[in-house]
Amino acid sequence: MSVKKAQTFSQMMHEIQRDPVRKARVLKMRNACRVAEEVYRIRTEHELSQKKTAELFKVKPSFVSRLEDGDYTCLHESIVLLHKMAKHFSTKINLNLLPEESSEKQND
């Protein structure tokens, strides 16, 4: 059994940049974290628990928890909830999402 040599952060990032699948996954996670931060910010500014937030916006408490954890599998739904929260509380959203590469570019 061989032991894999430890990588530096820059080596790991270089590998991710060369692998389109890993790169897309990292971008999705980064975007999900940015959405999660905004949902958390708005929720806590209005002193709401995850449960109260879920009741107010008619979603499951587990959904609020998952998206605040940065679950990138529900990114679209997270953005929809974030928009509803911003509209309900008349607050601005500060979101800087990175574009994901299309599958065509990934296959080149």
pLDDT band of residue 1 (cuts 50, 70, 90) is: low
Structural domain span for residue 36: 20-91
User: Is the residue at 98 inside a domain?
Assistant: no
User: Is the residue at 6 inside a domain?
Assistant: no
pLDDT digits (tens, 9 = 90+) for 53-83: 999 999 999 999 998 988 878 878 888 999 9
Domain CATH number, residue 44 = 1.10.260
The set of residues, in sequence order, having a beta carbon less than 8 Å from that of 14 and lying 6+ positions away, is none
User: Is the residue at 71 inside a domain?
Assistant: yes
User: Is the residue at 30 inside a domain?
Assistant: yes
- Count: domains in the chain: 1
User: Is the residue at 3 inside a domain?
Assistant: no
